[in-house]
Structure 1
Amino acid sequence: MSTYSIKDLEQLSGIKAHTLRIWEQRYNLLAPKRTDTNIRFYDDEDLKLILNVALLNDNGFKISKIAGMTYLEMKEEVVKLTEKNLTYDDQIHALTICMIEMDEDRFEKVLSTNILKIGFEQTMLNIIYPFLSKIGVLWQTGAINPAQEHFISNLVRQKLIVAIDGQLYKGGGKKFLLYLPEAELHEISLLFAAFIIKSKGHKVIYLGQNTPREDLKLVHRLHKPDYLMTVITTSPNSQEVQGYIDNLSELFNESEIIISGYQIVGQDLKMPKNVKALHYIRQIKEYLEELEAEFQEK
């Protein structure tokens, strides 16, 4: 079971810590536990409760009414709400509850409903990515356990693979080689990039996670792609990434290289002439549209 500080609850629910304390005192909504050293903490049940409370409160339920509900009554109202047209933040709350409860069926239903309403691309950009960003911070600080993070990542990954398979290549366009460096396993952004690239009519050669350098060189030599793309989240680390980029530029100087990820965004790095850094994954679509405009001009 995970444990959370009141600041963790604030970050996940969007409810200010000050407000949580008032609700705690006035309505007995939460009952924090204490460590042996008298430090307050909350558990998974507290987090699920406050996420339900936040979603109901955001949708017009008065806190006094919510406080009088049983947990089951709250959950039933939340299920009804998530099947309607809710805000992106509400959907993120619903997915967070699914993560805490490890409820695959409910997670699948929330995602599928949004994909039908707003499409796969907008669901990724406006719901999945903000959701992953929110839980990623807590996972790094230990507030969310690895099992919960892996549970969600695998479900999202499955959705992405199905969506990519649905984009049939009809010939033409440019050739993109996508891969992750050795020891790099964070694949979701690269999969989403593959989906966007294929949806724009380009050919994707996808090598995926943990690609050995020699394998990359072999495939590059065989297919001669116009573009090489990678995402660096953890490997190589911040001390090694500049050297890695420089080496990549030299090895594949006949290709344009697109690079993104945590070790790239906001870092003081010098990009070689044939390397383009994307600061947000949504920029891949903008980048492709710019390329298309250039092709038309020529």
Structure 2
Amino acid sequence: MSKYSIKDLEQLSGIKAHTVRIWEQRYKLLNPKRTETNIRYYDDDDLKLILNVALLNDNGIKISKIAKMSVEEMKAEVLHLTERSFAYDDQIHSLVLAMVEFNEERFEKIIATNILKIGFEQTMLNIIYPFLSKIGILWQTGSIHPGQEHFISNLVRQKLIVAIDGQMYSGGGSKFLLFLPEGELHEISLLFTSYILKSYGHKVIYLGQNTPDEDLKNVYKVHKPEFLVTAITTNPSNEEVEPFLQSLGESFPDSKIIASGYQILGRNLKLPSNVQLMEYLKEIKEFIILLPSTRA
């Protein structure tokens, strides 16, 4: 059983801590526990409840009415809302619930429904990737535990691999070498980049997670790609990111290097001219669209 602070509830549900406390006192919605040292905390059931309350309230249902619902009535109403609403925020909220509950069936239904409605690419860009960005930050700050993040990330990874397998390279376009640095295991954004590149008719050499420097150099010698793409979420560390990117630029001076990821967000890094930082996945897609490709 996980333990959450009121700040964790705020970050996961979007409801201000002050409002949570008011609802708690006025409507008895939550029943916080206390540690042996008298520190208040909330459990998984409390988190699921406040997530449901937040979604219902965001969709115009008054808190006084929500407070009179049973847990089962809330769940039923939430499912009804998310099935008829295609607002991105509602879908992301539903994915948070699926993650907290380790509910694979709910995750599959949400994703499948959205893919049918808006397509795989738009589902990734507008729902899955913002959701993963949110839980990535929450994981970094300890608001969710690694098991929850791993559960949902692996489900997304499976979807991406299936989608990538359906893309066939027919020749032409540019050549891209995709890799993650040694010690880096978060490959969702890299997999989606691979999907986008292939869908626009480019050649992709995918090395994936935890690529040793020597392996990267050996593959580069064989393929001589015009572009290298990497993502830095946890490794290298903050202090090592700039030297790492400088070394990449110097090691592969004839290629354009594109880097993204949590470790470069909002940072003013001094880098070689052939290294370009892209903070968000949509930037990478916009860059790819402008390249000559074989896409019809």
**1:8-87, aligned counterparts within 5 Å?**
8-87=8-87
Counterpart of 1:126 in structure 2 is 126
Q: Runs (4+) of structure 1 moved beyond 3 Å?
A: none
Query: How big is the shift at 1:265?
Result: 2.4
The answer to whether 1:142 aligns with 2:142 is yes
Q: Are the equivalent residues in 1 in contact too, given 2:175–2:203 (CA < 8 A)?
A: yes
Residues 94-146 of structure 1 deviation map (CA, whole Å, 9 limit, x = unaligned)? 11111111011111111111111112222122211221222222222323111
Residues 151-195 of structure 1 deviation map (CA, whole Å, 9 limit, x = unaligned)? 011001111111112222221100101001111111011111111
Q: Are the equivalent residues in 1 in contact too, given 2:53–2:66 (CA < 8 A)?
A: yes
Could you state the TM-score of these two structures normalised by the residue count of structure 1? 0.94
Counterpart of 1:165 in structure 2 is 165
Looking at structure 1, the residues matched to 95 and 117 of structure 2 have their Cα atoms a distance apart, in angstroms, of 16
Query: How big is the shift at 1:45?
Result: 0.3
Could you state the TM-score of these two structures normalised by the residue count of structure 2? 0.94
Where in structure 1 are there 5+ consecutive unaligned residues?
A: none
Task: Look up the SS of the partner of 1:196 in the other structure.
Answer: helix
The answer to whether 1:180 aligns with 2:169 is no
Task: Look up the SS of the partner of 1:3 in the other structure.
Answer: coil
Q: Are the equivalent residues in 2 in contact too, given 1:34–1:40 (CA < 8 A)?
A: yes
Looking at structure 2, the residues matched to 70 and 110 of structure 1 have their Cα atoms a distance apart, in angstroms, of 24
Query: How big is the shift at 1:292?
Result: 3.5
Task: Look up the SS of the partner of 2:42 in the other structure.
Answer: strand
Looking at structure 2, the residues matched to 37 and 234 of structure 1 have their Cα atoms a distance apart, in angstroms, of 33
Task: Give, as a single letter, the amino acid of the residue that structure 2 aligns with 1:241.
Answer: V
Q: Are the equivalent residues in 2 in contact too, given 1:179–1:211 (CA < 8 A)?
A: yes
Looking at structure 2, the residues matched to 242 and 104 of structure 1 have their Cα atoms a distance apart, in angstroms, of 39
Range with greater deviation from structure 2 (150-159 or 17-26): 17-26
Task: Look up the SS of the partner of 2:292 in the other structure.
Answer: helix
Q: Are the equivalent residues in 2 in contact too, given 1:177–1:227 (CA < 8 A)?
A: yes
Counterpart of 1:200 in structure 2 is 200
Looking at structure 2, the residues matched to 14 and 248 of structure 1 have their Cα atoms a distance apart, in angstroms, of 39
Task: Look up the SS of the partner of 1:225 in the other structure.
Answer: coil
Looking at structure 1, the residues matched to 198 and 128 of structure 2 have their Cα atoms a distance apart, in angstroms, of 20
Identity of matched residues, %: 70
Task: Look up the SS of the partner of 2:125 in the other structure.
Answer: helix
Say how many residue pairs are matched.
Answer: 294
Task: Give, as a single letter, the amino acid of the residue that structure 1 aligns with 2:274.
Answer: N
Q: Are the equivalent residues in 2 in contact too, given 1:2–1:143 (CA < 8 A)?
A: no
Where in structure 2 are there 5+ consecutive unaligned residues?
A: none
Q: Are the equivalent residues in 1 in contact too, given 2:250–2:272 (CA < 8 A)?
A: no
Looking at structure 1, the residues matched to 182 and 238 of structure 2 have their Cα atoms a distance apart, in angstroms, of 15
Residues 72-109 of structure 1 deviation map (CA, whole Å, 9 limit, x = unaligned)? 11111111121112321111111111111101111111
Q: Are the equivalent residues in 1 in contact too, given 2:173–2:292 (CA < 8 A)?
A: no
